[in-house]
Amino acid sequence: MEAGALLAEDAEQLAAATSQVLELALGRKLAAEVFLTASHSTRAIVQDGVVETFTLTEPQGMGIRVVDHGRTGYSYTESFSPDALADALAAAAANALIMPDAAAVELASFAAAPPFVESIYHPELATIPVERKIALALDLDQQTHDADARVKNVIATSYADTSVFLRIASTCGLDRNYWSSMAWLACQPLVFWDGQNKNYHMIRATRRFAELDPSYMAKEAVRRCIEKLGARQLAASSYPVVFAPEAFAALLGAFCGIFSAKVAQEGKSLLRERLGQRSAATVFSLTDDPLIPGGLASRPFDDEGCPSRELPLIAAGFFQNFMHNSETARRDRVASTGHAVRGSYKDTLRVGPSNLVVQAGQASFQDLVSAAPQVLHLTELTGLHAGTNVVSGDFSLPAQGFLYAGSERLPVHLITVAGNFYRLLESIEAIGAQSELLPSGIRTPAVLVAGLAIAGH
Amino acid sequence: MSQYPQALFEIWELPIERTLVSEVLAAAMSSGADFADIFIEDKSTSRLTFLDGQIKDAVSGRSQGAGIRTIHGRQVNYGYTSVLSREGLLRTARLIAAARQQGSVRQLTALASITSPPYHFCQIYPRAVGMEQRLALLERADRAARKAHPAITQVEVTISESLQRVVIANTAGLFVADERPYSRLSVLAIASNGNEQQTGSQSPGRMAGFEFFEQLAVAEIACQAAESATLMLRATYAPAGRMPVVIDKGFGGVIFHEACGHSLETTSVAPRASIFAQKLGEMIAQPCLTAIDDGTIPNEWGSLALDDEGMPTQRTILIENGRLVNYLADYLGSIKTGYPRTGSGRRESYRYPPASRMRNTFIAPGDATLEELIASVAHGIYAKRMGGGSVSPGTGDFNFSVREAYLIRNGKIAEPVRGATLIGNGADILKKISRIGRDLELSAGMCGSISGNIPVNVGQPAILVDEMTVGGSNL
């Protein structure tokens, strides 16, 4: 496989496809935008010392947004043949025709140059021989098996990487592109002891291949399983809860839609009328920072081409800003904050965060878990796609963790934690001093929340 | 199987000349493998979203590509391309052949003439329907939901349609085609009282063309979503703790899908990552429970004429009167475990290698009425509408969410309570399903797993679970 950037003939083909669509649009007097991604991806899945599945793929696709007399239509195509491109433009134009007149949308051209974001692309990722990548997964599998005699099985050990080229070009003169790359390593040991099965899904994401450390991951993954052995179910009761960074990031990731102006304008966020008001405890501050060097969700510009910048969402408990794309910004008569997100070329324009950062506090871990005679430290939350309701803010989620009672630390399982995210933000009591960076790009310390309902037996 | 008229294939615009497909398979096998297959796909989709009483988003698109797989022993090489030309296909085949050496070069069996089974026919193709018909449908749903109650502040209605055409060939000489139309309506209603807002939703779907929407009781479905949202606004929070649960028919089947179904896929069974591995022939549930995974029901959301490896789908009995009798196996899963293939090889698109997956999975009807089930519970909850769930097959711990529930007090349905997550362990919970109702109903959902998001039905009659942990917040 060719190194680094695209094969010359592929790059030429992508450029020609973009030009063809924009020229066709100009010929029909349509404003149009091309959102194009082309990637190289590798993935190896290992089981019992054997590379079971190896995939080498080059996904590509183009999303077309047409604005005709203030009305927007979308389409996409994965084939870049001249016929497919012409069909896709025609489909987007036809979709625009059925939109209501009132929208009065325009394509924005964002005159300001986007900033340079350091370390989001490492071209060497594509030149590292496949054998070295596979060796990393095999090594992780072996070390995880060997880490402890109680390891019964290791599943889903995998290495994956992707290098993505993204280009946004429009008939309004906008034309921007950037490359980014990412590598992942994961494993899931299953330990068995005294009639109990415990597992932990360990995943590390990085921009730099060299940062993937199978030795650390194997030890840590197995340690996380073993410390859960002997877990019991708690009686249903209310407990102060310390969310570990991993757990708080999962919750924040599920509910960050409440900060989206699109969600608010659609009547789905209770923050709609609360700009400038107290919406969280004063110890809580949250920003979105797209410019973190090497950040896992960093980006020089958003999915409309709007230059990225840091945006405070909550400062000392006060709700500061919604995240906007150009459409929601026009409707609220403000400027876009650079938070347009497409998800993929198949999706329509939405709003979404980059790297969400919870400001670190003062508390040591010991302070947090000794804040009350009994404190529940929740390390893992699951089922977030089903157990959270962004519109109401309600959540009820399976959880695992440890009950701290005096000098005792008891593993607990088969419990749920339930509450409302809006009220949770208001009942944050303390924030840890030590932040962790999660694979989602969220950076957060542990967070102590006053009484939440725990269901068990 | 019947031979297709060549003209129909020409309309598909897929590169399916027999000689080219043979050449691509040979190129994939050129550095040695036991087996190779190719999955060529052309899928058109369209989605219309109606919000604030008007069209909010209109998007349509076309995915085209081919996925090529080689298998040597239990090792798979996989690659795909969106360039459906001779050059594009051969380049991908050579790329995966060059990626890893896989043993000696095998003799290929010549491809048969292309055939197709009688598939789940589409009566009205999406292209044949004008936009005004869709708009009328969206407006009808929106109006009905808004009229249902003054507390309804927002309604979002979505029509999703797709038409997937596939050609599948392999080095054992298989050369087949299938067509899968999908139609789905989703209604989300939001009720608000100023301080709080609650949601209700309905999303029926079928493997069918536009006729699905014409036969659908659109206003009734929209009203159900609105009534559920309104009811939840005045409901208190669900209780917390272990108690008996009556789970209603239809999407209630998500409990079996999560607690057991995923753990019966050879994807989990082969690496011994399933609590039900090596349990074939054992009693894993009470004798009242029979569970089936059926890909053959005409036009159901999770049905297929052929699976994504070209094998005709089957009706597979998983659990018969409490005894585990079958797993769900794809081609590779069958090689790894020795269990027979069940026509369960599925994938979201050409971008995923296939894996063993569920189709229409349901608990077979028993003899109780819903009233009888409720009457047998002194204190517990009646879970009426369910959301999604998940499972960790290694431990069997699973969860699913209840969107609308009621307390059961002294054998009678009492006040409504808000949603909560229900959790349990698969091995344990199957033995606690003690009574099964008589009215089976299937319900459409999307299932996400290793080979992507695919349409599946879950289903059951109402069931009684003797004890489950209800994750409410009312202590």
Select the CATH number that applies to the domain covering B2-233 from these four: 3.90.245.10, 3.30.2290.10, 3.30.310.50, 3.90.380.10. 3.30.2290.10
Distance between B10 CA and the closest CA of chain A, angstroms: 16
Asked if A164 contacts A181 with a C-beta cutoff of 8 angstroms, the reply is yes
List b or e across A390-415, with b for residues whose CB sees 16 or more CB atoms inside 10 angstroms: bbbbbbbbbbbbbbbeeeeeebbbbb
- Bridge partners (DSSP) of residue A306 are none
Is A264 in the same domain as A125?
A: no
Domain boundary among A220, A251, A279: A220
Helix (H) or strand (E) holding B427: helix B426-430
Token duo for residue A111: 């005159």
Token duo for residue B297: 């029901």
Residue A9 is predicted with a pLDDT of 77
Token duo for residue A352: 């979404």
Is A211 in the same domain as A242?
A: no
Residue B126 clears pLDDT 70, i.e. is over it = yes
Token duo for residue B453: 């998001």
Is A274 in the same domain as A382?
A: yes
Compute the Cα dihedral for A141, A144, A146, A152 and give only its sign: negative
Residue B3 is predicted with a pLDDT of 43
B236-285 pLDDT tens trace: 999 999 999 999 999 999 999 999 999 999 999 998 888 999 999 999 99
Distance between A414 CA and the closest CA of chain B, angstroms: 7
| The Cα angle at residue A54 between residues A48 and A60, in degrees rounded to 5 | 150
Domain boundary among A220, A242, A264: A220
Residue B7 clears pLDDT 50, i.e. is over it = no
Residue A2 is predicted with a pLDDT of 34
Q: Do A236 and B271 touch (CB under 8 A)?
A: no
The pTM score is: 0.94
Is A204 in the same domain as A129?
A: yes
Residue A1 CB coordination number (10 Å)? 13
**Which residues in chain B touch residue A70, judged by CB atoms under 8 angstroms apart?**
none
Residue B108 is predicted with a pLDDT of 75
Query: Does residue A305 lie within any of the structural domains?
Result: no
Task: Quote the CA–CA distance of B274 and A221 in Å, as a whole number.
Answer: 19
Q: Do B96 and A383 touch (CB under 8 A)?
A: no
Task: Quote the CA–CA distance of B373 and B412 in Å, as a whole number.
Answer: 10
Structure-token match 């349609």, residue found:
B161
ipTM of the complex, rounded to two decimals:
0.93
Is A211 in the same domain as A255?
A: no
Asked if B385 contacts B403 with a C-beta cutoff of 8 angstroms, the reply is yes
Residue A4 is predicted with a pLDDT of 42
Task: Quote the CA–CA distance of A334 and B59 in Å, as a whole number.
Answer: 27
Asked if A258 contacts A390 with a C-beta cutoff of 8 angstroms, the reply is yes
Q: Give the total number of structural domains in chain A.
A: 2
Token duo for residue B279: 């349990």
Is A212 in the same domain as A276?
A: no
Q: Do B199 and A389 touch (CB under 8 A)?
A: yes
Is A190 in the same domain as A238?
A: no
A422, burial (CB in 10 Å: exposed 0-12, middle 13-18, buried 19+): buried
Task: Quote the CA–CA distance of A325 and B200 in Å, as a whole number.
Answer: 28
- B340 close to A (CB below 8 A): no
Residue A102 is predicted with a pLDDT of 65
Domain boundary assignment for chain B: 2-233, 240-471
Over pLDDT 90: what percentage of chain B?
84
Asked if B380 contacts A368 with a C-beta cutoff of 8 angstroms, the reply is no
Q: Mean pLDDT in chain B?
A: 93
Is A198 in the same domain as A284?
A: no
Distance between A452 CA and the closest CA of chain B, angstroms: 8
Query: Does residue A335 lie within any of the structural domains?
Result: no
Token duo for residue B163: 């038409």
Selecting from B65, B76, B474 the residue whose C-beta is nearest the C-beta of A52 gives: B76
Domain boundary among A166, A190, A220: A220
Distance between A453 CA and the closest CA of chain B, angstroms: 5
Asked if B385 contacts B246 with a C-beta cutoff of 8 angstroms, the reply is no
Query: Does residue A435 lie within any of the structural domains?
Result: yes
Token duo for residue B457: 């039905």
Please give the residue range of the domain that contains residue A275: 231-299+353-457
- B427 close to A (CB below 8 A): no
Query: Does residue A406 lie within any of the structural domains?
Result: yes
Asked if B325 contacts B471 with a C-beta cutoff of 8 angstroms, the reply is no
Q: Do B394 and A199 touch (CB under 8 A)?
A: yes
Residue B312 clears pLDDT 90, i.e. is over it = yes
Asked if B166 contacts B175 with a C-beta cutoff of 8 angstroms, the reply is no
The 3 state secondary structure assigned to chain A is CCCCCCCHHHHHHHHHHHHHHHHHHHHCCCEEEEEEEEEEEEEEEEECCEEEEEEEECCEEEEEEEEECCEEEEEEECCCCHHHHHHHHHHHHHHHHCCCHHHCCCCCCCCCCCCCCCCCCCHHHHCCCHHHHHHHHHHHHHHHHHCCCCEEEEEEEEEEEEEEEEEEEECCCCEEEEEEEEEEEEEEEEEEECCEEEECCEEEEECCHHHCCHHHHHHHHHHHHHCCCCCECCCCEEEEEEECHHHHHHHHHHHHHHHEHHHHHCCCCCCCCCCCCECCCCCCCEEECCCCCCCCCCCCECCCCCECCCEEEEECCEECCCECCHHHHHHHCCCCCCCEECCCCCCCCEECCCCEEECCCCECHHHHHCCCCEEEEEEEECCHHHHECCCCCEEEEEEEEEEEECCEEEEEEEEEEEEEHHHHHHCEEEEECCCEECCCCCEECCEEEEEEEEECC
Domain with residue A65: its CATH number is 3.30.2290.10
Dihedral angle of Cα B315, B318, B321, B325, to the nearest 10 degrees: 110
Q: What is the mean pLDDT of residues B24-35?
A: 93
Is A35 in the same domain as A61?
A: yes
Is A156 in the same domain as A89?
A: yes
Token duo for residue B262: 């995923």
Q: Do A398 and B421 touch (CB under 8 A)?
A: yes
Work out the pLDDT band at B156, boundaries 50, 70, 90. very high
Asked if A446 contacts A210 with a C-beta cutoff of 8 angstroms, the reply is no
Residue A10 is predicted with a pLDDT of 81
Selecting from A391, A413, A414 the residue whose C-beta is nearest the C-beta of B199 gives: A391
Is A34 in the same domain as A176?
A: yes
- B237 close to A (CB below 8 A): yes
Q: Do A396 and B100 touch (CB under 8 A)?
A: no
Selecting from B197, B421, B469 the residue whose C-beta is nearest the C-beta of A387 gives: B421
Asked if B409 contacts B416 with a C-beta cutoff of 8 angstroms, the reply is no
For residue B447, which phi and psi values (nearest 5 degrees)?
Answer: -115, 125
- How many CB pairs below 8 A link A and B? 241
A81, burial (CB in 10 Å: exposed 0-12, middle 13-18, buried 19+): middle
Query: Does residue A225 lie within any of the structural domains?
Result: no
Query: Does residue A344 lie within any of the structural domains?
Result: no
**Which residues in chain A touch residue B78, judged by CB atoms under 8 angstroms apart?**
53-57
Residue B12 is predicted with a pLDDT of 63
Task: Quote the CA–CA distance of B417 and B404 in Å, as a whole number.
Answer: 7
Token duo for residue A271: 């923050």
Residue B118 is predicted with a pLDDT of 73
Residue B102 is predicted with a pLDDT of 62
Residue B399 clears pLDDT 70, i.e. is over it = yes
Helix axes A8-27, A82-97, angle to 10 degrees: 40
Residuewise pLDDT in 10s, chain A (457 residues): 233 446 677 888 899 999 999 999 999 999 999 999 999 899 999 999 999 999 988 899 999 999 998 899 999 999 999 999 999 999 999 999 999 876 677 898 898 999 999 999 999 898 899 889 999 999 999 999 999 999 999 998 999 999 999 999 999 999 999 999 999 999 999 999 998 999 999 999 999 999 999 999 999 999 999 999 999 999 999 999 999 999 999 999 999 999 999 999 999 999 999 999 999 999 999 999 999 999 999 999 999 999 999 999 999 999 999 999 999 999 999 999 999 999 899 999 999 999 999 999 999 999 999 999 999 999 999 999 999 999 999 999 999 999 999 899 999 999 999 999 999 999 999 999 999 999 999 999 999 999 999 999 9
| The Cα angle at residue B356 between residues B355 and B357, in degrees rounded to 5 | 105
Is A173 in the same domain as A238?
A: no
Work out the pLDDT band at B4, boundaries 50, 70, 90. very low
- In terms of Cα–Cα distance, which of A182, A143, A179, A136 is closest to A159? A136
